[in-house]
Amino acid sequence: MEVPSLQGLGLEHGILTKEKQKEIEQKGNSISIGLPREESNEERRVSISPSGVAVLIANGHKVLVGKGAGEGAHFSDREYAEAGGEIADSDSMLYSNSDLIVKVGPPNEKEVNLMHEKQVLISALHLGGTSPTFLKKLMELGVTGIGFEFIRDSDGTLPIVRMMHEIMGTMAVQTAARLLESAEGGKGVMLGGISGVPPSNVVILGAGVVGEWAAKTALGFGAHVIVLDNDLGALRSIEHYLGRGITTAMATEQYISQALLTADVVIGAMLTAGQKAPVVVSEHMVASMRNGSVIVDAVIDQGGCVETSRATTHSKPTFRRHGVIHYAVPNMPSNAARTSTYALTNVLVPYVIKIGEANSVNEALWTDVGLRNGTYTYRKHLTKKSLAMMFGMPHRDIELLIASGI
């Protein structure tokens, strides 16, 4: 097999020519794919819809679906069965008979204990809740872990992250609008103004995808929108796309403090890909906000960017601190479970097909830059430098591991 070039691989050509991949036993192109029912934090999404399962079956793969896996998104077991999926009566049956596990949230402790050696896992990692124990368990099993947050294609886009962030940005503003209502304990104001009554002030921290879609939605409501970010290029870009109807400013402590004094809504959307969210709003700033105002920390799954935030759940989504309503549900898109499932299906199915077409996960990672970038554990090694620095653990470069055949 001709060895394709690997982006960013700092090796002389001579080294690559000396390395020869181990001969792979032909198994055909059929793999067994497991879609478990999500158990963590009231997750209602499922990783792949029945239509996506039908595509995988048509490509010659076997799909095991956890009993009731699609109920939260209003997909019945019958729909999955009609698409060609096999309904697994138990988690142990699903995990033990699957080569590849595709989930929305990361496996919990019980699910990790059901995994077997050299399995492949595709799911979100949720950096805000990731632990060294979880990573070490995957490494002990030799699990190839591929995280939604890290899958980056050759053009630099993060396809799964972008899909979910578009939903998060939109839902953050929809949620804030509801929480401002008197029945929810808010200030009793509307986001958009009416004749003779000015609109609410919405402050968005971060000009990335979450911030962009939050700004679009807030403008649609008729709100006055301020977007702050440390990246001047990102601010220029969001002004270009959304026009001068928004106000932009650098996310300095001074500007953030001033903006929060008159904010009715604050959307936390400050995020660096593959890293924990930076905390840019201090408790002192929160205390300066007006009573009944709302904070939606949309990046709480990455640790959150507001000091007073703590992860909440769909059944108990809010709490008050200094008179300010905080909403910080990590899996916010779960409240639009059906839309989110279709969005995940659109992006995940092509990746799963690529893995199925390869003779092994090693070859799939070798030939697909998105999957390779997404890998954080591989053959008993941690392969993400950001995770290694976060937890003080050693790591190995994924491209070197693949090239050396370790």
Select which of 229, 264, 297, 301 is catalytic.
Answer: 301
Round to whole Å and give the CA distance between 45 and 41.
11
Element (H, E) at 122: strand 120-123
Residue 89 falls in the annotated catalytic set: no
Residue 208 to residues 371, 374, 377, Cα–Cα distance (Å): 23, 20, 27
Round to whole Å and give the CA distance between 26 and 272.
40
Q: What is the DSSP string of 240-287?
A: HHHGGGEEEEE--HHHHHHHHHT-SEEEE----TTSPPP--B-HHHHH
Residue 301 falls in the annotated catalytic set: yes
Residues whose CB falls within 8 Å of the CB of residue 244, separated by 6 or more in sequence, listed in order: none
> What is the layout of strands, in order, in the sheet containing 375-378?
86-88, 62-66, 32-35, 100-102, 120-123, 144-147, 375-378, 381-382
Select which of 61, 126, 224, 381 is catalytic.
Answer: 126
Please classify residue 231 by burial: count the beta carbons closer than 10 Å to its beta carbon, then call 0-12 exposed, 13-18 middle and 19+ buried: middle
Residue 378 backbone dihedrals phi, psi, to 5 degrees: -155, 120
Give the catalytic positions in this structure: 126, 301
